[in-house]
Amino acid sequence: ACPDEKDTEVFKRIKMIVVSVLFASGIPFFHEGQEIGHSKNGKSNTYNTGDKDNGFDYQLLAERKDLYHFFIEAIALKKKFISIMKDNYLDLPSHMSFVNLANGALRIDYEASDSVISFVYNPTNDSIMCDFEDYVRLVFNDTGSVEDSEFFIRLAIIPSKTVSVFLKKKAGTLSSWKENEK
């Protein structure tokens, strides 16, 4: 889709798309090798072209371990969020909101029982600013999990071609997110 981009830019897009698919409603589906940017050599239909196009490339995995580790951390984050999200997908519109940001970037806020989870997607070529009404904690970004930090902000700079995930505990909730995981 972006043939003129360098691999580093393509890898940023892969990470953003992994989070998009993983945190969409329903059961996420990934093709083998998608998490490390495996390609089918430009072919759209490879059902009968053999292992060269369809086999898992372990050499590519060795070269792109950072993408693989990002994928593993994104799955771990999804598992943590499942425990605090509501179970009924039919109710999603009642506790989700979308905020259009500069240049086509998007913030999706998901209101859980004791917190608000915000996903900020910036598919643009420029960094954007995202202003929150209250302090939020950065828990995940293009480097993977940063949930051990106590980094609270109200104004976030989201680099180009990345997604950042923020968590805000609702007022009056006594337990922390980490305590909910235990």
pLDDT band, very low/low/confident/very high, at 12 (cuts 50, 70, 90): very high
Round to whole Å and give the CA distance between 153 and 138: 8
Round to whole Å and give the CA distance between 14 and 161: 9
Round to whole Å and give the CA distance between 168 and 177: 9
Q: How many Å from the N-terminal Cα to the C-terminal Cα in the chain?
A: 42
Do 12 and 162 form a contact (C-beta atoms < 8 A)?
yes
pLDDT tens-digit profile of 40-98? Answer: 777 878 888 888 888 888 999 999 999 999 999 999 998 888 765 555 666 677 788 89
Nearest to 181 by CA among 103, 71, 76: 76
pLDDT band, very low/low/confident/very high, at 109 (cuts 50, 70, 90): very high
pTM metric for this prediction: 0.84
Do 38 and 61 form a contact (C-beta atoms < 8 A)?
no
User: Given this model, what pLDDT does residue 151 score?
Assistant: 78
User: Given this model, what pLDDT does residue 31 score?
Assistant: 82
The lowest-confidence range among 88-92, 113-117, 174-178 is 174-178
